[in-house]
Amino acid sequence: MIDQAGIIMAQGKSIACERIQGINDNMGKSHYHDYFELYYLETGKRYHMIDDQLYKINPGELLIFSPYVMHHSYGEKDMPFKRLLVYFHPDEIDSPKLLKALTEGTGVYKPEPKTGQIIYTMLRQLLNEQETPSVYDMEYMHSLLNLLLLTVIRDVHTPVKTEKTNRINEVIQYIHKNYHQDINLDQLAQNFYISPYYLCREFKRYTNSTIIQYVNITRIMNAQRKMMETDCNITEISRATGFSNITHFNRVFKKIAGMTPSQYRKLHKNGKDKSSLDQSLDF
């Protein structure tokens, strides 16, 4: 499945929409990005793994993923589905209070029918504006996005319960809590009273990643967060995220992020400096 909205974001846009329908189109493995995602299911049923929690989502329900949250989706065999999604950068949000609520509000939302119809209408308007842009199209999408998100945060109060956890859920939870420590297959198998072979097989089936791949992605995701949120130097961040030496950290970081840690920090520092300058000029 080609992520057209992701391509639009990579081309420099700060809002992108997409509608996709399919069958047996499952994500290969958990992933994350540096912008928000709103996912609205139109038809079918889907399962979503968000960090270490598994959710089942039904038509009319939606999910919001904050930046740097691991997630992937999949469906039952031969179950067709159709969904709408919106990607957007945090700087598209006008209200600091709304941004804080969104950042803390990763999860599944189940709107009442009336509110759900309003949300669905605004999502289709966003997609239509992207596909047939008019005068002030980005300003229109910006304003509509903020109204949509305010509607979700203000009026949707029915959380969707997680699915029952299993042993692999527990292993994933352990990795997310202990990524900064030494983690290896034998230790995990011993901690959860299962054989290394069974753990490798079920973990791969569940996440489509090996344990080492998943641990490394989790560590790099948290390293990126620390680069954005702290002034710690790269050596300190590498140690804080579980890497025994800076060379290994640099190599894994570049493989996953597509650039070196120094390049990543410089890129995002420039973006933050520009944002601060813009705010200082906003009289």
Residue-wise pLDDT tens digits, 107-166 = 888 898 899 999 999 999 999 999 998 999 999 999 999 999 999 988 775 556 565 567
pLDDT for the residue numbered 273: 42
Residues 6+ apart with CB under 8 A from 103: 66, 90
Q: Give the pTM.
A: 0.68
The helix/strand/coil state of 180 is coil
- Per the document, the length of the chain is 283
Query: Do residues 84 and 127 lie in contact, with contact meaning Cβ atoms separated by under 8 Å?
Result: yes
Considering only 25-29, 71-75, 77-81, 176-180, which range has the smallest mean pLDDT?
A: 25-29
The helix/strand/coil state of 99 is helix
Of residues 127 and 226, more confidently modeled: 127
Q: What kind and span of H or E run contains 119?
A: helix 113-131
Q: Chain-wide mean pLDDT for the chain?
A: 84
pLDDT for the residue numbered 249: 94
Residue 22 has what DSSP assignment?
A: E
| C-alpha radius of gyration, the chain, whole number | 20
Report the distance separating Cα 30 and Cα 283, nearest Å: 42
The gap from C-alpha 76 to its chain's centroid, in whole angstroms, comes to 22
List pLDDT tens digits, range 257-283.
Answer: 888 999 988 887 654 443 332 332 232
Place of tokens 């740097």: 68
Domains observed in the chain: 4-155 (2.60.120.280), 167-269 (1.10.10.60)
Which whole number is the average pLDDT over 20-26? 75
pLDDT for the residue numbered 20: 85
* Residues of the chain above pLDDT 70, percent: 88
